[in-house]
């Protein structure tokens, strides 16, 4: 999720500097998760729309290894409101023109980019030049080329980089990964995933091809792509897809209203997926195997996730997903370990989304053999 915050008015003026700012906390070992860091890492949110306001800022009040330290907004009224609500110093409040000065602020260790998709690349690159670690919301960018530029910029800066895939840190989804990848019910033969809602144009950038890169496939469908892959523990070898009819051609004149697609795997398994901005879909992730089944429904929300298998209900807690996600990234920074959700995974998914669009546009099966081979494997943790 992202927020449009007048970032299109952002200056293209960029400083080129490489600063090795300390993380503001001594490096700690595996005990980092057992106790709060002596000084939590400072996070600056770039873009103060719905997701930052409703999810990330509240989550940063629950984190142990990081805290809300700064904001970047093009709206002075939001800056004033957030300053008061979260007791932020003036020195940690930026707009899109002054953003590059964040390089000189040791109170900010991590920049979290929460803007419309087309703006991700610019702000990740600018954050890299400012010498900051970065989390970028999903989808990572509107093109694989932008993804590669972002990864290269972060590598050059020598800083940690992750994509905001919160569900990798959620117990029910972790259980789907475990059960699916260990083949607890035998090899998975079929998967299904649905995710969508009736869009009411409260965030118009989502139906702008230029800003969003596409419609519900980019925004909601990416959860289905992710869920299928980490449950199966494999990448698809090809995809087929079909656009849904447009019931509102005016609202959806630039992007699809809905999409159904199938992902084919090397072992013959298939995943049938749907997404929509025209109807409320069930939010479901299901896998059928030789000796049973496993599913989450609802699957993809910020809370209320419920899971079942052939053996009964998953007795797992709902947790503050974004707090878990951000604390995990802070731990990666503090202990210098790789993130489970790196930029390469973001690139992989943008490549897969592009293949799905190509399949829908051509009516042909599209190979995914050139997609970056990165997986969140249970045995790699």
Boundary (domain end) residue, out of 107, 135, 166: 166
Same domain, 127 and 202: no
pLDDT at 25: 33
Boundary (domain end) residue, out of 166, 197, 216: 166
- In the predicted model, is pLDDT for residue 15 greater than 90? no
Determine, yes or no, domain membership for 299: yes
- In the predicted model, is pLDDT for residue 14 greater than 50? no
- In the predicted model, is pLDDT for residue 187 greater than 70? yes
Determine, yes or no, domain membership for 2: no
pLDDT at 375: 97
Determine, yes or no, domain membership for 284: yes
pLDDT at 123: 98
For residue 89, count other CB atoms closer than 10 A to its CB.
Answer: 11
Determine, yes or no, domain membership for 323: no
State the average pLDDT for the chain: 92
Tell me the per-residue pLDDT of 116-153, one tens digit each, with 9 for 90 and over: 999 999 999 999 999 999 999 999 999 999 999 999 99
- In the predicted model, is pLDDT for residue 271 greater than 70? yes
Same domain, 355 and 216: yes
pLDDT at 308: 98
Lowest-pLDDT range, 21-30, 256-265, 345-354?
21-30
pLDDT at 286: 99
- In the predicted model, is pLDDT for residue 343 greater than 50? yes
In 233-342, alpha helices (H) = 321-335
Same domain, 144 and 180: no
pLDDT at 37: 45
Same domain, 13 and 152: yes
Rounded to 10 degrees, the C-alpha dihedral 352/354/356/357 comes to 170
Q: How far is CA 194 from CA 132, 209, 276, 277, in A?
A: 36, 22, 9, 12
Closest CA to 226 of 170, 307, 282: 170
Same domain, 127 and 228: no
Residues 6 or more apart whose CB falls under 8 angstroms from that of 27 comprise 334, 335, 336
- In the predicted model, is pLDDT for residue 31 greater than 90? no
Same domain, 214 and 140: no
User: What is the C-alpha separation between 268 and 40, in angstroms, rounded?
Assistant: 47
CATH number at residue 59: 3.40.50.720
Same domain, 175 and 150: no
Helix/strand/coil for 222: helix
Same domain, 368 and 258: yes
pTM over 0.85: yes
Please give the residue range of the domain that contains residue 181.
Answer: 171-318+343-380
Boundary (domain end) residue, out of 128, 150, 166: 166
- In the predicted model, is pLDDT for residue 307 greater than 70? yes
Determine, yes or no, domain membership for 332: no
- In the predicted model, is pLDDT for residue 59 greater than 50? yes
Same domain, 77 and 33: yes
The mean pLDDT value for 317-327 works out to: 98
Same domain, 23 and 158: yes
Count of structural domains within the chain:
2
* Geometric angle at alpha carbon 264, from 259 and 266, rounded to 5°: 165
Same domain, 184 and 294: yes
User: What is the C-alpha separation between 322 and 263, in angstroms, rounded?
Assistant: 28
CATH number at residue 247: 3.30.360.10
- In the predicted model, is pLDDT for residue 6 greater than 80? no
pLDDT at 34: 47
pLDDT at 144: 98
Above pLDDT 90, what percent of the chain? 89
For residue 43, count other CB atoms closer than 10 A to its CB.
Answer: 27
pLDDT at 378: 82
Residue 204 pairs in a beta bridge with: none
Tell me the per-residue pLDDT of 93-102, one tens digit each, with 9 for 90 and over: 999 999 999 9
For residue 313, count other CB atoms closer than 10 A to its CB.
Answer: 9
Determine, yes or no, domain membership for 72: yes
Helix/strand/coil for 9: helix
pLDDT at 379: 72
pLDDT at 381: 64
- In the predicted model, is pLDDT for residue 221 greater than 50? yes
pLDDT at 28: 36
Active site residues: 138, 223
Same domain, 140 and 240: no
pLDDT at 32: 43
Determine, yes or no, domain membership for 364: yes
Determine, yes or no, domain membership for 330: no
Starting at the edge strand found earlier in the chain, the sheet holding 270-276 runs 312-313, 307-309, 292-296, 284-289, 188-196, 270-276, 258-264, 238-243, 366-367
The mean pLDDT value for 182-198 works out to: 98
């Amino acid at each position: 999720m992202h927020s449009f915050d007048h970032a299109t008015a952002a200056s293209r003026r960029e400083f080129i500097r490489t600063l090795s700012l300390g993380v503001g906390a001594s490096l700690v070992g595996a005990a980092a998760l057992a106790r709060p860091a002596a000084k939590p890492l400072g996070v600056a949110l770039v873009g103060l729309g719905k997701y930052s306001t409703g999810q990330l800022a509240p989550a940063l009040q629950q984190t142990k290894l990081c805290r809300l330290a700064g904001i970047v907004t093009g709206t002075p009224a939001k800056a004033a409101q957030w300053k008061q609500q979260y007791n932020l110093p003036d020195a940690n409040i930026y707009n899109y023109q002054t953003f590059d000065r964040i390089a000189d602020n040791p109170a900010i260790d991590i920049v979290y980019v929460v803007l419309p998709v087309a703006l991700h690349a610019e702000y990740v690159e600018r954050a890299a030049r400012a010498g900051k670690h970065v989390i970028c919301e999903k989808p990572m960018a509107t093109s694989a080329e932008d993804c590669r530029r972002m990864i290269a910029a972060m590598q050059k800066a020598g800083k940690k980089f992750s994509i905001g895939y919160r569900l990798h840190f959620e117990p029910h989804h972790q259980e789907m990964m475990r059960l699916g990848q260990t083949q607890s019910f035998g090899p998975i033969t079929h998967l299904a995933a649905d995710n969508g809602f009736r869009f009411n144009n409260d965030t118009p950038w989502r139906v702008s091809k230029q800003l969003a890169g596409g419609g519900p496939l980019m925004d909601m469908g990416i959860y289905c792509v992710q869920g299928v892959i980490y449950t199966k523990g494999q990448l698809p070898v090809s995809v087929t897809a079909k656009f849904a009819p447009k019931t509102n051609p005016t609202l959806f004149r630039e992007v699809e209203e809905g999409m159904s697609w199938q992902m084919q795997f090397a072992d013959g398994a298939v995943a049938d997926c749907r997404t929509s901005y025209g109807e409320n879909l069930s939010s479901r992730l299901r896998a059928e195997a030789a000796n049973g089944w496993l599913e989450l429904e609802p699957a993809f929300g910020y809370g209320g996730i419920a899971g079942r298998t052939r053996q009964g209900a998953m007795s797992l807690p709902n947790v503050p997903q974004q707090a878990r996600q951000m604390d995990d990234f802070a731990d990666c920074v503090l202990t210098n370990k790789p993130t489970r959700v790196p930029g390469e995974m973001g690139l992989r998914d943008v490549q897969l989304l592009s293949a799905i669009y190509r399949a829908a546009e051509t009516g042909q099966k599209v190979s995914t053999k050139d997609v970056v081979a990165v997986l969140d494997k249970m045995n790699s943790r």
